[in-house]
Structure 1
Amino acid sequence: MTTETIFSNARIVLEDEVLDGSLVLRDGRIADISKGSISKGEDFGGDYLIPGLIELHTDHLEAHYSPRPGVRWNTTAAIQAHDAQVASSGITTVFDCLRMGSDEDGGFEAGEMREMADAIAGAAREDRLKAEHLIHLRCEVSAANVLDDFSDFETDGLVRLVSLMDHAPGQRQFQTMDQYELYYKTKRGLSDEAFAEFVRKRVEASERYSRRHRDQIAAHCNARGIAMASHDDATLDHVEESIAHGVKVAEFPTSIDAARASHQAGLSVLMGAPNIVRGKSHSGNVSARELARHGYLDVLSSDYVPLSLIHAPFLLSEGEEGVALPKAIAMVTSTPARTVSLDDRGSITIGKRADLVRVRHISGVPVVRSVWREGNRVV
Structure 2
Amino acid sequence: MTGIAMNFTGAEVLWNGKMQARDFGIGSGSIMDSAQDARGVDLRGWRVLPGIVDLHGDGFERHVAARRGGVPDMGDGIVAFEAELAANGITTAVMAQFYSWEGGLRSPQAAERLVATWQAEAPALATDLRLQLRLETHFLEAFADAEELIDRAGITYVGLNDHLPHDRLAAGRTPPRLTGTALKSGRSPQAHLALMQQLHGQADAVPAALDGLCKRLSGKGIMLASHDDATAQARHAYRARGVRIAEFPETLAAATEARVGGDGIVLGAPNVVRGASHAGKASARELIAQGLCDALASDYHYPALRKAVWALVDYGILPFDAAWALVSEGPARLLGLEDRGVIAPGKRADLVIVDPASGRVGATIAAGRLTYLTGPLAARFLA
TM-score (norm 2): 0.85
Tell me the C-alpha RMSD between the 2 structures: 3.1
Residues 195 and 160 (structure 1 numbering): CA distance in 2 closer, same or farther, change over 3 Å?
A: closer
Residue from 362, 365, 369 that aligns with 1:376: 369
Equivalent residues in 2 for 1:78-227, closer than 5 Å: 78-103=77-102, 108-125=106-123, 127=124, 129-143=125-139, 144-157=141-154, 159-170=155-166, 182=176, 184=178, 200-205=197-202, 207-227=203-223
Question: 1:73, 1:278 → 2: CA distance?
Answer: 34
TM-score (norm 1): 0.86
Residue from 338, 341, 345 that aligns with 1:343: 338
Q: Does 1:361 align with 2:356?
A: yes
Are the aligned partners of 1:269 and 1:296 in contact in 2 as well (CA < 8 Å)? Answer: yes
Residues 278 and 202 (structure 1 numbering): CA distance in 2 closer, same or farther, change over 3 Å?
A: farther
Question: 2:197, 2:3 → 1: CA distance?
Answer: 64
Are the aligned partners of 1:169 and 1:202 in contact in 2 as well (CA < 8 Å)? Answer: no
Aligned equivalent of 2:327: 332
Question: 2:192, 2:72 → 1: CA distance?
Answer: 31
Question: 1:198, 1:100 → 2: CA distance?
Answer: 15
Are the aligned partners of 1:233 and 1:250 in contact in 2 as well (CA < 8 Å)? Answer: yes
Aligned equivalent of 1:297: 293
Question: 1:323, 1:357 → 2: CA distance?
Answer: 20
Are the aligned partners of 2:277 and 2:284 in contact in 1 as well (CA < 8 Å)? Answer: yes
Q: 1:361 Cα deviation (Å)? A: 3.1
Question: 2:122, 2:131 → 1: CA distance?
Answer: 13
Q: 1:67 Cα deviation (Å)? A: 1.9
Aligned equivalent of 1:37: none
Aligned equivalent of 1:30: 31
Aligned equivalent of 1:264: 260
Find the residue that maps to 2:293 and give its secondary structure: coil
Find the residue that maps to 1:123 and give its secondary structure: helix
Letter of the aligned partner of 1:147 in structure 2? A
Q: 1:215 Cα deviation (Å)? A: 2.1
Aligned residue pair count: 361
Q: Percent identity between the aligned chains? A: 29
Aligned equivalent of 2:40: 41
Find the residue that maps to 1:303 and give its secondary structure: coil
Aligned equivalent of 2:378: none
Residues 70 and 216 (structure 1 numbering): CA distance in 2 closer, same or farther, change over 3 Å?
A: farther
Q: 1:238 Cα deviation (Å)? A: 0.9
Deviations 1:260-309 (A, max 9, x none): 11022221211111111111111111110110111112111111111111
More displaced stretch, 209-218 vs 304-313: 209-218
Residue from 281, 285, 291 that aligns with 2:277: 281
Aligned equivalent of 1:51: 50
Find the residue that maps to 2:353 and give its secondary structure: strand
Q: 1:317 Cα deviation (Å)? A: 1.5
Question: 1:269, 1:248 → 2: CA distance?
Answer: 9
Residues 183 and 238 (structure 1 numbering): CA distance in 2 closer, same or farther, change over 3 Å?
A: farther
Q: 1:58 Cα deviation (Å)? A: 0.8
Letter of the aligned partner of 1:337 in structure 2? A
Residues 89 and 163 (structure 1 numbering): CA distance in 2 closer, same or farther, change over 3 Å?
A: same
Aligned equivalent of 1:316: 312
Aligned equivalent of 1:7: 8
Residues 279 and 124 (structure 1 numbering): CA distance in 2 closer, same or farther, change over 3 Å?
A: same
Letter of the aligned partner of 2:357 in structure 1? I
Deviations 1:13-68 (A, max 9, x none): 235421122122132111128xxxxxx82111221111111111111222222222
Letter of the aligned partner of 2:70 in structure 1? V
Question: 1:331, 1:304 → 2: CA distance?
Answer: 17
Find the residue that maps to 1:372 and give its secondary structure: strand
Question: 1:313, 1:217 → 2: CA distance?
Answer: 36
Question: 1:291, 1:244 → 2: CA distance?
Answer: 23
Are the aligned partners of 1:268 and 1:339 in contact in 2 as well (CA < 8 Å)? Answer: yes
Question: 1:76, 1:194 → 2: CA distance?
Answer: 32
More displaced stretch, 257-266 vs 109-118: 109-118
Are the aligned partners of 1:236 and 1:257 in contact in 2 as well (CA < 8 Å)? Answer: yes
Letter of the aligned partner of 1:354 in structure 2? A
Letter of the aligned partner of 2:144 in structure 1? L
Letter of the aligned partner of 1:287 in structure 2? S
Equivalent residues in 2 for 1:223-242, closer than 5 Å: 223-242=219-238
Letter of the aligned partner of 1:367 in structure 2? R
More displaced stretch, 192-201 vs 335-344: 192-201
Question: 1:361, 1:74 → 2: CA distance?
Answer: 39
